[in-house]
Structure 1
Amino acid sequence: MRVDIYRRPEAEGRFSHLVVPEGRPIPQEATNTDWSSERSGVEMDETQAHWDELGIPEPGRQLQAKGYAITSVKEQPRH
């Protein structure tokens, strides 16, 4: 699946990531935070159990249920 990846800074130099299908806007319930575009049109395998580099568990389930996938608070990566 091709996706657009956004990120926002968190405490202690960590980041949260939000992933939406390519070309789709950030869903309204997630627009209350300042997301900046990180990458667009990235091919990601939504059937994976976890997107390690983004700290996103169950990306396929999240995309199906919410229309986006987001970093787990427990897994905010540094980069």
Structure 2
Amino acid sequence: MWTLQDAKNRFSAVVDAALSGTPQEVTRRGKPAVVVLSTQEYRRLIADARGQRPAFANHLLSFPAAEIPRGKTKPRDVSF
């Protein structure tokens, strides 16, 4: 894990480590901020994510068709 300042000072080392197959985590003010990884690994992650996700229309169509019971509470009286 790199601090932001160290990552800026040694950016070539961060990139070399990411290219060798080890994603590099960078923190800002002690909190995780970003991960540097190779383009190959990034594209693999994106392809995997797209392959696991159904189309949005299919997601909507998978909603149960049964009637959803509505609450029986009455609205409160409001005077203007």
TM-score with structure 1 setting the length:
0.22
TM-score with structure 2 setting the length:
0.22
Greater helix share, structure number: 2
Greater strand share, structure number: 1
Which protein has the larger Cα radius of gyration, Structure 1 or Structure 2?
2
